[in-house]
Structure 1
């Protein structure tokens, strides 16, 4: 859960790097250096997010909610998010 939430937090920065690469073509290694050094390669995901007490608590509460829902229904979270087929 923590990894997924951390990826969501830096998705906009990764998208900016991707757009820079698309716009720059073969020169992306030089033109997009700033975006690459500051954002991509997991610096926006790594330890500082995992050590943040507020982020940890948010993920812990989400995990507890998913666990309680599983105990109540018996359906794993990834299966609950899928749409059920209708018979019409």
Structure 2
């Protein structure tokens, strides 16, 4: 093994698992446009628009195949609530910080979030 290969194989304290610098806060396009919006969508549905989600689900269960026509009001209310949160810059920044923290933990430990949660 050459000296260059040995140096590249040695662990870098800033990049312990070869997954990137855990302290790096730059974002790739896919992170900005897909991964962070996914966190926003999941949090908005689960934490912030719970009543609208429940109303829409209840309407859909009651309407079965006619839900497209009968649940327009509930669907509009849900979309309005979600849109308000998607456009909230403070919420967007909060979700960005959550994403960067999760990414940093992954880069530090090498363990994906779903596996970290299972082991706790």
Q: Helix, strand or coil: the match of 2:118? A: coil
Q: Does 1:43 align with 2:80?
A: yes
Match of 1:18 in 2: 57
Q: Distance in 2 between matches of 1:2 and 1:27?
A: 30
Name the TM-score, length of structure 1 as normaliser: 0.63
Q: CA deviation at 1:59?
A: 0.4
CA contact (8 A) 2:45 2:53 kept: no
CA contact (8 A) 2:49 2:81 kept: yes
Match of 1:5 in 2: 43
Q: Helix, strand or coil: the match of 2:82? A: coil
Q: CA deviation at 1:78?
A: 2.2
Q: Distance in 2 between matches of 1:69 and 1:27?
A: 46
For these two proteins, the number of residue pairs brought into alignment is 80
Unaligned ranges ≥5, structure 1: none
Q: CA deviation at 1:58?
A: 0.7
RMSD value over aligned CA atoms? Answer: 2.7
Name the TM-score, length of structure 2 as normaliser: 0.50
Q: Distance in 2 between matches of 1:26 and 1:75?
A: 43
Q: CA deviation at 1:43?
A: 3.1
Unaligned ranges ≥5, structure 2: 1-38
